[in-house]
Amino acid sequence: MPAFKTLDDLTDIAGKRILVRVDLNVPVTDGKVSDTTRIERVAPTILELSEKGAKVILLAHFGRPKGEPVADQSLSLIAPSVEEVLDQRVAFASDCIGAPAADAIAAMNDGDILLLENTRFHKGEEKNEAGFVAELAKNGDIYVNDAFSAAHRAHASTEGIAHHLPAYAGRTMQAELEALEKGLGQPTRPVVAIVGGAKVSTKIDLLSNLVTKVDALVIGGGMANTFIAAQGINVGKSLCEHDLAETALAIMETAKTAGCAIVLPVDGVVAREFKANAANETVDVTAIPADAMMLDVGPKSIELVNDWIGKAATLVWNGPLGAFEITPFDKATVSAALHAAEQTKAGKLVSVAGGGDTVSALNHAGVADDFSYVSTAGGAFLEWMEGKELPGVAVLTKG
Ligand code: AMP
């Protein structure tokens, strides 16, 4: 990955207007922010810039308002939580461009923090429209992007604007990029990837990329059934995409050519119902009863997975090994998570995990803080695992 500029390269910023793209797309229940993790993640960048005397102007989107103002997707609803997390006054402007933004910025003192209204209230945001980009850029002297989670989109506030202003990575973006570099960019070998979750169809690009980069790919979860079935084994009523048999075989072939070991479950925990504490039994994958479904990988497979984690210097993980939301089918995911956490704490493993359910699974195992890095970025993390260039990152690393 080419070098990118960070806040360490920003000197003499007192009085400068710094437009900071942050992720404030937080969950809201009954009009209240129910999880402030994303706000906490961007707080260090905001506070550092404010302490250095910059005028900190926050740009963010919230929800999917489709280019028009929508009352319940106004960032004014989030502003109080931002104030609370930062423990600083945060002013609010009712538009991210035009007079409301200009007037609020003119009223700022050095070190002040201002939140501009949802960028997606304008059609130009998602279209990365030149006129809108210029309007946004007019409000700042410097641009800082701290929203890795939005970096897979070439929008005005994530990509376009960086062509107009000197652009820097914020602290969270920096930490994410450095962790990802250690995960797949320049990893210490051997590198093992664990990919689980429901379906192969949502992760074809990801699997195809990983087999060319890692030394071993452990496949678990529902998607393992598709690989097992592709080899002519009957998987009963297990979740399985039979139409993707050829895709699965092609991925295995690519892996073979690239020298990547594919590790599939050898046994599984099967049940007749998809519900907590459903009656279950452990069988070899070659003996799945016709009326049963595999909901977790079995003890022999857990041992295999943990052996691979033990051999790895770097681990990249997306997706649970089983239906971890319902006991006892969380066993394999929890066991592998605990083992990876132990290895990481012992300094033997760099562990990078992310993507939707993976974060909940690691939280469920109680080890999210023990991994080297857990990305909450979702789509952007998956696109990175797919080996795609993220426009919001590319623009920080070019020129
Ligand atoms: P994904 O979003 O693709 O990472 O999939 C996560 C979902 O896969 C979770 O909700 C799990 O319950 C589900 N899952 C994992 N293993 C299985 C399995 N063997 N059968 C059915 N669903 C599974």
- C-alpha 323 to ligand 1 mean position (Å): 5
Does any ligand 1 atom lie closer than 6 A to the CB of residue 202?
yes
What angle (nearest 5°) sits at the alpha carbon of residue 228, between those of residues 225 and 234? 85
Does 25 belong to an annotated binding site? Answer: yes
Does residue 379 carry a catalytic annotation? Answer: yes
CA distance 85 to 46: 11
- What's the pLDDT score for residue 398? 67
Pocket test for ligand 1, best of 324, 364, 381, 386 (most atoms within 8 A of CB): 324
Does any ligand 1 atom lie closer than 6 A to the CB of residue 197?
yes
**E-assigned strand segments in 162-242:** 167-169, 191-195, 216-219
- C-alpha 198 to ligand 1 mean position (Å): 4
Nearby residues of 273 by Cβ (< 8 Å), 6 or more positions away: 279
Q: What is the pLDDT of residues 209-231, one digit of tens each?
A: 999 999 999 999 999 999 999 99
Does any ligand 1 atom lie closer than 6 A to the CB of residue 294?
yes
**Strand 280-284 and strand 267-271: pairing?**
antiparallel
Percent of the chain with pLDDT over 90: 94
Q: What is the pLDDT of residues 241-289, one digit of tens each?
A: 999 999 999 999 999 999 999 999 999 999 999 999 999 999 999 999 9
- H-helix or E-strand spanning residue 359: helix 357-365
Does 61 belong to an annotated binding site? Answer: yes
Q: How many CB atoms lie within 10 A of CB 360?
A: 13
Distance from the Cα of residue 53 to its chain's centroid:
31
Local structure of 350: helix, strand or coil:
strand
Does any ligand 1 atom lie closer than 6 A to the CB of residue 239?
yes
Among residues 24, 126, 139, the alpha carbon closest in space to that of 80 is found at: 24
Q: What is the pLDDT of residues 124-142, one digit of tens each?
A: 999 999 999 999 999 999 9
Note if the pTM is more than 0.95.
no
Task: State the pLDDT confidence band at 397, using cuts at 50, 70 and 90.
Answer: confident
Among residues 317, 310, 326, 229, the alpha carbon closest in space to that of 269 is found at: 326
Q: What is the pLDDT of residues 294-332, one digit of tens each?
A: 999 999 999 999 999 999 999 999 999 999 999 999 999
Q: What is the pLDDT of residues 67-102, one digit of tens each?
A: 999 999 999 999 999 999 999 999 999 999 999 999
Does any ligand 1 atom lie closer than 6 A to the CB of residue 235?
no
pLDDT at 179 over 80: yes
pLDDT at 399 over 70: no
Give the relative orientation of helices 171-180 and 37-51 as an angle to the nearest 10 degrees.
120
Does residue 356 carry a catalytic annotation? Answer: yes
For the record, the structure tokens of 52 come out as: 């250095």
Q: What's the average model confidence in pLDDT over 356-368?
A: 92
- Cα-only R_g, the chain: 23
For the CA of 196, the closest atom of ligand 1 is 4
Does any ligand 1 atom lie closer than 6 A to the CB of residue 298?
no
Task: State the pLDDT confidence band at 2, using cuts at 50, 70 and 90.
Answer: low
For the CA of 294, the closest atom of ligand 1 is 19
For the CA of 325, the closest atom of ligand 1 is 12
Distance from the Cα of residue 50 to its chain's centroid:
27
Pair 187, 359: CB distance under 8 Å: no
Tell the residue number behind the tokens 């070659």, with chain if given: 286
**Strand 191-195 and strand 314-318: pairing?**
parallel
Does residue 272 carry a catalytic annotation? Answer: no
For the CA of 238, the closest atom of ligand 1 is 20
- H and E: helices and strands count for the chain: 14, 17
- What's the pLDDT score for residue 1? 64
Ligand 1, atom 21, lies closest to the CA of: 222
What is the average pLDDT score of the chain? 96
Does 17 belong to an annotated binding site? Answer: no
What angle (nearest 5°) sits at the alpha carbon of residue 86, between those of residues 82 and 88? 95
For the record, the structure tokens of 119 come out as: 């960028």
- C-alpha 29 to ligand 1 mean position (Å): 25
- What's the pLDDT score for residue 396? 94
Does any ligand 1 atom lie closer than 6 A to the CB of residue 391?
no
Q: Which amino acid is at 289?
A: P
Percent of the chain with pLDDT over 70: 99
Does 63 belong to an annotated binding site? Answer: yes
- C-alpha 285 to ligand 1 mean position (Å): 17
pLDDT at 377 over 80: yes
